[in-house]
Chain A
Amino acid sequence: MKKIILTVSIIILFLINGCDKGIEPADEITSPTGFKGKVTFSGNWNNNIKRTHLVVFKKPINKDDDFFPPNLTFVIDSIPKGASQFNYNSLENNYIESFTISAGEYSYVVVAQSNTPALSLQRKDWVVIGVYCENGDQTKPKKLIINAGRISDDINIDVNFNNPPPQPPGGM
């Protein structure tokens, strides 16, 4: 009996000290996480436009609902009408305070315009005018890759009002 108690005690002590501890604290990240770049415009601005935002989507847009949170991940401040270039930084130009962006891959980054004074969350109110893409081919969206503790830069989008990109599903 004593041997059994001793053996069980040793096993329990071994398990107590040797087991996986489950959830662990994440590594500390001291530097900020985000992205920055510029949007350049060519062609003429539409006078009726009230808002122009750079927006980030987690996954490609396949249906109306994909245009909004949680797939809509980040919104940059509205770009002033008539601008020919807009430099932005996600840390300084976060339009929706409660939204944050963290490390990961984001499939669809675009500049979109709306003619509603307030920020609308209706797909039909928006038109995509520029896409973050490979080699200027707006039919091939490029993934935005964000690493923890780093600012991904050169996330540039060229908007040509005379050559708009293909529109995602939904809308007007």
Chain B
Amino acid sequence: MKKFFFLLILSTSVIYSQSSTGTIKGRVVAVDNSPLEGVNVFIPTTNYGSATDIRGFFEIKNIPFGVYNVEFSLIGYKKELKENIDLNQISVNVTVILYEAAFETKQIIVSAGKYEQDKEDLSVSTTVLRPEIISQKSIHSFDDLLRYVPGVQMTMDQVSIRGSSGYSKGAGTRVLTAIDGVPFYSGDMGDIVWEMIPLQDIERIEVIKGPASSLYGSTAIGGVINIITKSASKNPFTNFKSYIGTYDKPSYDIWKWDDSYRTFYGLSLTHSNHYKNLGYTFSIKKFDDMSYRQNDYYKRYTAYTKLNYLFSDSSNLSLLANYLYSMRGNYLYWKDSRNALIPKPGEENNKVRSNRLFLSLIYDKKFSDSFTAQFKSSYYRTKFDGIAIEFTTSTANLFRNELIGTFNLSDKFRLISGLEFSYTKVKSNIFKSPDYFGSGLYAQMEYNVTEDLILNAGARYDYLKLDTLKGANAITPRAGLNYKLTNELILRSSIGTGFRVPTPSEVFTSAGVGGGIDVIENPNLTYETSISFEAGLLYNYSKSLRFDAAFYQTEYNDFIEPNLTYTGDIQFINLPKARVQGIEAIIDWDFVPQMFKLNISYNYMWSKDIEREKAMKYRPRNVLYTNLSYNHYPFEAGIDFRFWSKVEEIDDALVEPPLNYVKEGNKRVPVYVADINAGFNFFIGSLPAKTFVSLKNIFNYNYVEFLGNIAPIRNITLSFELFY
């Protein structure tokens, strides 16, 4: 009988133990559905835990039945807490997506200095952006993304870092934009076509604030934006994204010019995989925007391919091809402030057709632990046709080759050196048909004096020859230091020089812009130079609260700006001297870690045309950006607010008598723009998906970034993404 009871108790306990414990298992993937290895998976306040394997799978066994919260964490990714997992059977399956942390400041690698560095070791101010914010903020074009970066100002489609540029219809950028370190600007205008940048294929974006001519040459006088594209996925991965949106009605009835809602939409499909040593990514996209303004529409088609072939662990080759076709209305200025959303009479049917092809080839070879070489070759063909009463056209072919060597001479000493050649041929009926030759030779060393002190210094020599103009020689040295005063406080400082040679469009443009005004050429235009200084600090008050502050000053000589001549024409001229000074402060606060985050940046900038003793055009003195974000899987939300003080100086000659070309074009106001967004992550079957809604310019505030051009009015976007 005792035996019977013993067996009964034993069998009951076995049955109980079999039915009262279970397994939580599943998979952890990144947003692109690629498996994440080494993710810590544990149940807080218990000893139950595990980690994911190479395929992203995990398993936690023998957990008593019950309801649990399970936490997933991996360095570089936002922590996720999966709540209320009801374990009441043998096993429960869980799939989790981890998101990379955006606006991170620690352990971020930056390669804009032509080699990879920890962001905290840099001697210049840098912001690194993660691609998640592209979906969160419903960004459709890269320039919209830059509107949220501290120290960066977008005037229409022209980028300026710390006041380096005003507005010149894109001609002659002072910020070098590069894709994987390969410069990306057109051969004729020197402009950047933002819509060509493949938003779905970005790994990270590095924004270097301050001159980088000592490494990149002429165009980098104001800074560098380096876009790092994603490597091909190790597993088959397809991403489908679509968005649709509409503009609200204008604030004033008098501005209404169309009774229907003006809509926009976009579609993109990306596929990535590996075949043996070949990684590949293909994507195609279509964008369509009716615009809130008359004759401001666009239709764009892009195709993007990235191939990467791994010869060995020490050598690989990548090819990037990017193509754009676009047709858009050519909206220049409003008719007047009572007709603020329709163009000037006679410009209702002007349009621009563009074809652009960008190819780059990068070959990396590691010869030894102390020497690595990289060869970069690129070809950028741009063609546009301006269709109006006067037909304008320009085709530019830009070839570039660069050889970079990185020498790790010791644990403390590194030398980066390079040689670069470029050649451009332009065929145009408005810029003449000049050719343009450029060459550069540079070297930069970095020396870790102690664990806490890093010094770097370098110089570049450039020779550039623009058609019949006299060749320009420039030597641009720089030096910087980074000193970790304590574990929390890092000081940085740099001094550097820059130069910029005028583009063919600035020298040779000869075309009418309407109203009897012509842009005329200036063969006497010479190159501009600069000297810049920056001192900054980064203070990590705690893991969740960080401060960054910097003082900067740049002195420009022979600064190139468009100007109205005494004959009533527009001509690019050299201003004798200009100065930009400023203070930038950034606060990054995770006030509820992993859930609520606040980012505030403020920039006070004083720019001065020294000869005329007034501010430089289109540079706001005060700029404030704030972002409050909420993340609690599966929900995401955010509020952004941007403020610019009223721009002090504009092109008065265009808006005042005698020309009065843009009627009431001097109407301008401080800028207050607020955007909100919210998103939800979910699964369709086992496929991760997300949907976002974004409301931009929620107060429907009417402002201009450039005279006679009302910025986008209130609009709403609904987007959907699927990963499989």
Contact = CB atoms under 8 A, between A and B. Distances in A.
A101 B663 CA distance: 11
B338 A69 contact: no
Interface in B672-724: 672, 674, 676, 698-704, 710
A118 interface: no
A101 B657 CA distance: 5
B657 A25 contact: no
A69 B337 contact: no
Nearest to A68: B566
Contact of A12 (B337, B516, B659, B698): B698
A58 B659 CA distance: 12
Given A22-B703, A23-B669, 14 more contacts: A19-B701, A22-B701, A22-B702, A23-B668, A24-B337, A65-B566, A69-B568, A70-B656, A97-B516, A98-B516, A98-B658, A98-B661, A102-B657, A104-B657
A53 B197 CA distance: 55
Contact of A99 (B564, B566, B658): B658
Nearest to A75: B658
B251 interface: yes
The 3 closest A-B pairs by CB, nearest first: A98-B516, A68-B566, A99-B658
A3 interface: no
A134 to B, nearest CB: 23
A70 B652 contact: yes
Contacts of A121: 566-567
A96 B515 CA distance: 11
A74 B660 CA distance: 11
Interface string B645-677: 000000011001111110010011100101010
Given A24-B252, A25-B340, A98 B568 contact: yes
Contacts of B699: 15-16, 19
Interface string A118-160: 0001000000000000000000000000000000000000000
Given A23-B710, A26-B338, A98-B568, A72 B701 contact: no
B703 to A, nearest CB: 5
A21 B702 contact: yes
28 contacts: A12-B698, A16-B700, A19-B672, A21-B252, A21-B701, A21-B702, A23-B337, A23-B668, A23-B703, A23-B704, A24-B702, A25-B255, A25-B340, A26-B337, A26-B664, A68-B567, A69-B566, A69-B653, A70-B564, A70-B652, A74-B657, A97-B516, A99-B657, A99-B658, A100-B657, A100-B659, A104-B657, A121-B566
A25 B338 CA distance: 5
B517 interface: yes
B658 A101 contact: yes
Interface of B: 251-252, 254-255, 336-338, 340, 515-517, 564, 566-568, 652-653, 656-661, 664, 667-669, 672, 674, 676, 698-704, 710
A16 B698 contact: yes
Contact of B667 (A23, A58, A73): A23
A92 interface: no
Nearest to B674: A15
A97 B657 CA distance: 12
Q: Which of B652, B699, B702, B710 has the most CB of A within 10 A?
A: B699
Interface of A: 12, 15-16, 19-26, 28, 58, 65, 68-70, 72-74, 96-102, 104, 121
Most buried by B among A58, A96, A98: A98
A93 B254 CA distance: 33
B698 A69 contact: no
A143 to B, nearest CB: 15
Nearest to B568: A69
B255 A72 contact: no
Contacts of A73: 657-658
Contacts of A96: 658
Nearest to B516: A98
A73 B566 CA distance: 11
B566 to A, nearest CB: 4
Contacts of B659: 69-70, 98-100
A35 to B, nearest CB: 12
A72 B254 CA distance: 34
B336 A26 contact: yes
B254 A69 contact: no
Contact of A25 (B254, B515, B674, B703): B254
Contacts of B255: 25
A127 B92 CA distance: 96
Nearest to A101: B657
A156 to B, nearest CB: 21
Nearest to A25: B338
Nearest to A26: B337
B655 to A, nearest CB: 10
Contacts of A19: 672, 699, 701
Contacts of A58: 656-657
A28 B338 CA distance: 8
B202 to A, nearest CB: 31
Nearest to B699: A19
Contacts of B564: 69-70
Contacts of B664: 26
Contacts of A72: 658
Nearest to B336: A26
Given A22-B701, A121-B567, A98 B515 contact: yes
B701 A70 contact: no
A74 B568 CA distance: 12
A74 B337 contact: no
A98 B567 CA distance: 12
